[in-house]
Structure 1
Amino acid sequence: MKKSFDAKPWFFPLPVLIIATYDENGNANAMNAAWGGLYDSDQVELCLSAGHKTTKNILARKAFTISFATKKYLEACDYVGLESGNTVPNKLEKAGFTMQKAMWSTHRSFRNCQCVWNVH
């Protein structure tokens, strides 16, 4: 059976997006998010609740990076989605991720990240 999803700004199937941020003290954090997509040709849309450390960091620093979770990093990506940066400040280290300076921003990103977005 075929089903049309019509034209929507979401990716199908929904990928796991890894949203990485830094807090005001320079501590890295990341979470996984399933609800995100292209809003316009140069904008993304994410559905994040206000209680997430990532949301607080985005509002404070006005920058974040987006990576797609991959099979190679499945366990690490799952871990950052299960643990909260509010209670586990070094969860990226525990997950085994290495951070590096993003190519197009002063923000730092995952070593395998290709997308950097600045909040306006």
Structure 2
Amino acid sequence: MMKNLGPNVFSYGYPAPVLMVGTYNDDGTVNVMNLHECTRTNAGDLALCIGPRSKTHENIKKRRAFTVALVNKNLIKEVDYFGIVSGHRVPDKFEKTGLKAVKSERVNAPIIEGSPLVIECELIEVVRTNNFTTVLARIVNVAADESVLDKTGRIDAKKTGMLFFDSFSNSYFSLGEKAGNAWVEGKKYL
């Protein structure tokens, strides 16, 4: 039997990948935010829900470029800190973590070292709603550490060790076991 819990239980929704969005500040220093509201569109672009008052939002509008990095357990303390502290209040928050970044060769944004996978993006447009904006971006490049590739050179999700944010419990979880094969499991009904 289903139990009604009300609309607020859903909070941010289902478990979603924990990501770091990297941009440059006006003085050239690195700014990073914790984000778990990002999806690929049917057009092959990225859609990110970012608060319009955040430093990252401001930087994206100015620079028209950013990176999105997957996070694993090695980066859990840093990404959690990036979600706690505002870049407006603590402009050197990236430096405080001791992480390093290199400039992307393709977009005007930092690539955070230690991430297993980085998506380099250019801004398409910002769509404003009541409290949030959706940042639509073209994927320019995806760079992956060789350690997360399979024998054929494709990304192996389990090797990334990617973390997920679960808003039901306010916890981070890592990727579980493979449950089945997409576009195969349902063929028994064909």
TM-score of the pair, normalised by structure 1: 0.82
Q: 1:57 — aligned with what?
A: 59
What is residue 18 of structure 1 aligned with on the other side? 20
How many Å separate the matches in 2 of 1:32 and 1:84? Answer: 10
Post-superposition CA distance 1:83-113 (Å, at most 9, x none) = 1000101101112210112243343211235
3-state secondary structure, aligned to 2:78 = helix
Q: Decide whether aligned partners of structure 1 residues 41 and 71 sit closer, same or farther in structure 2, where only a CA change above 3 A counts.
A: farther
Q: Which residue of 1 aligns with 2:121?
A: 117
Q: Gapped runs of 5+ residues in structure 1?
A: 1-11
More moved, 18-27 vs 86-95: 18-27
Aligned residue identity for 1:117:
C
Match of 1:108 among 107, 110, 115: 110
Q: CA RMSD in A?
A: 1.6
Count the aligned residue pairs.
Answer: 109
Larger Cα Rg: Structure 1 or Structure 2? Answer: 2
Runs of 4+ in structure 1 over 3 Å off: none
Query: Residue in 2 aligned with 1:27?
Result: 29
Q: Quick check: 2:107–2:120 contact (8 Å CA) kept in 1?
A: yes
Q: Which moved more, 1:18-27 or 1:85-94?
A: 18-27
1:29, 1:14 → 2: CA distance? 22
Q: Please, what TM-score do these two structures have when normalized by structure 2?
A: 0.54
